[in-house]
Amino acid sequence: MMETFETICYIDENGNVRNEEGAARINEKLAKEMYEKLLLVRTFDRKAISLQRQGRLGTYAPFEGQEGAQVGSASALKEGDWLFPTYRDHAASITFGHSIPRVFLYWNGRVEGCVAPEGKHIFPPAVPIATQLPHATGAALAEKWKGTDNASIVYFGDGATSEGDFHEGLNFASVFKAPVVFFNQNNQYAISVHISKQMNSETIAQKSVAYGIPGVRVDGSDVFAVYFETQKALERARNGEGPTLIEAVTWRFGAHTTADDPTKYRNQDESIQKREQIDPLLRVERYLKNQGYWDDEWAAEMQANASAVIEEAVEEMEAFPKPKVEDIFDHVFASPTWTIQQQKEEYLQQMRGEDA
Ligand SMILES: Cc1ncc(C[n+]2csc(CCOP(=O)(O)OP(=O)(O)O)c2C)c(N)n1
């Protein structure tokens, strides 16, 4: 018999609590914390697009619409866990403690942008689709063999499920009971490819059945559902029960990257219409208002704080020492080969106006 995967929701689009567990666990403090985190990453995302448009940042991959999935899941991690993001998962990395100036630097093509603060186990964003899944399984297994209770979380899109690395990562983790959470953000598009052309499976969560691991489908616009369901998966991982596949159903409001024009493959009115139902920030705002916890002054203060943090991060990123032209040669191998060395010297000679 086919197993079905209901989409778990704690708070609906109108901000009403939809289940008992939600009613018992969501309170003013948690809701305000989540609101603050969501607002910070949204402010980051919008600023990044604006900087790219001004030529102050390279190509950028926006995540607006997916903040609930990323903030909720990363909030469930503890110090010592491992986070494996893609190019779209900065909301998760920032929530887990990445440096915001460094994340901006990454989008200026700087290798320093891949370096997380000391002690933070955050990998550089994976650009080759799905390669990070086996890495996360490996890191999780290493923690298990070292006898710690650290776990991994790995982010990937719906398109990544068509890659061989998806199978290898999940199968290996299942067989060896690796403490890893496979966190899929089903935003329904792999650039221009709609999910209906990606797979015939009704859900991504159901793929867990083939690997003999738990699968969970969650409303990715509901930060609370994502947070609590990820917590449960991490608990299973830490208890030696192995991996979980979580599918967070979400939507990217904007383009795939700033180099993409989504109007070529989807009607952007759909994004505008969907905002009311699926904006994760709006949902928490509605919850706070329904409960009588909302306060305009508090919300304005939160926005002012978020804007100040982001502006300061931009200043820090722009004050970072500029790269040297020869850096491109130095980052190819740990010790340069003679050919690279020769190319570097010839290039520098040319820069100085000398004949090679
Ligand atoms: C191995 C590999 N193949 C193709 C690409 C080109 N590519 C970049 S993003 C992308 C779509 C990925 O879609 P999805 O996994 O759904 O993630 P999303 O971008 O929606 O977050 C593709 C095919 C790549 N980066 N790596």
Mean pLDDT taken over the chain: 96
Mean local confidence (pLDDT), 169-173 = 98
In whole angstroms, what is the distance from residue 319 CA to residue 295 CA?
36
- 3-class secondary structure per residue, the chain: CCCCCCEECCECCCCCECCHHHHHHCCHHHHHHHHHHHHHHHHHHHHHHHHHHCCCCCCCCCCCCCHHHHHHHHCCCCCCCEEECECCCHHHHHHCCCCHHHHHHHCCCCHHHHCCCCCCEECCCECCCCCHHHHHHHHHHHHHHHCCCCCEEEEEECHHHHCHHHHHHHHHHHHCCCCEEEEEEECCEECCEEHHHHCCCCCCCCHHHHHCCCEEEEECCCHHHHHHHHHHHHHHHHCCCCCEEEEEECCCCCCCCCCCCHHHCCCCHHHHHHHHHHCHHHHHHHHHHHHCCCCHHHHHHHHHHHHHHHHHHHHHHHHCCCCCCCHHHHCCCCCCCHHHHHHHHHHHHHHCCCCC
Confidence of residue 152 (pLDDT cuts 50, 70, 90): very high
CA 235, 239, 240: angle at the middle one, nearest 5? 125
pLDDT digits (tens, 9 = 90+) for 184-223: 999 999 999 999 999 999 999 999 999 999 999 999 999 9
Residue 276 has pLDDT above 90, yes or no: no
Region of 208 please: left (phi>0), alpha (psi -120 to 50) or beta. alpha
Position in ligand 1 atom list of the atom nearest CA 66:
21
| Residue among 94, 90, 101, 175 nearest 134 (CA) | 175
Could you identify the atom of ligand 1 that is nearest to the CA of residue 186?
16
Determine the angle formed by the axes of helices 132-146 and 164-175, rounding to 10 degrees.
20
Q: Is the model's pLDDT at 318 over the cut of 70?
A: yes
Q: Which residues line ligand 1 (CB under 6 A)?
A: 88, 127-129, 156-160, 187, 189-191, 256
Which of 14-28, 76-90, 261-275 ranks highest by mean pLDDT?
76-90
Which of 169, 235, 159, 263 is closest to 208 using CA atoms?
Answer: 169
pLDDT surpassing 80 at residue 356: no
Residue 355 has pLDDT above 80, yes or no: no
Residue 347 annotated in active site: no
Residue 2 has pLDDT above 80, yes or no: no
Q: What does the pLDDT look like over 85-124, one tens digit per residue?
A: 999 999 999 999 999 999 999 999 998 999 999 999 999 9
Judged by average pLDDT, the poorest of 16-20, 116-120, 224-228, 257-261 is 16-20
Residue 271: pLDDT above 90?
Answer: no
Average pLDDT rounded to a whole number, residues 344-356: 87
Centre of ligand 1 to C-alpha 10, Å, is 30
Domains of the chain: 7-323 (3.40.50.970), 324-356 (no CATH)
Tell which one of 191, 192, 250, 260 to mutate to probe ligand 1, the residue whose CB is within 8 A of the most ligand atoms: 191
Could you tell me the distance, in angstroms and rounded to a whole number, from the CA of residue 246 to the centre of ligand 1? Answer: 19
- 327: number of Cβ within 10 Å: 11
d(CA 123, CA 129): 15
> 11-68: per-residue pLDDT in tens?
999 999 998 888 899 999 999 999 999 999 999 999 999 999 999 999 999 999 999 9
pLDDT value of residue 327: 86
Q: What is the mean pLDDT of residues 289-307?
A: 98
- What percentage of the chain has pLDDT greater than the value 70? 99
Which residues lie closer than 8 Å to 88 by C-beta, 6 or more apart? 61, 62, 63, 66, 155, 157, 185, 252
Distance 159 CA to ligand 1 centre (A): 6
Per-residue confidence band for 1, with pLDDT thresholds at 50, 70 and 90: low
User: Is 256 known to be catalytic?
Assistant: yes
| Residue identifier of the C-alpha nearest atom 4 of ligand 1 | 129
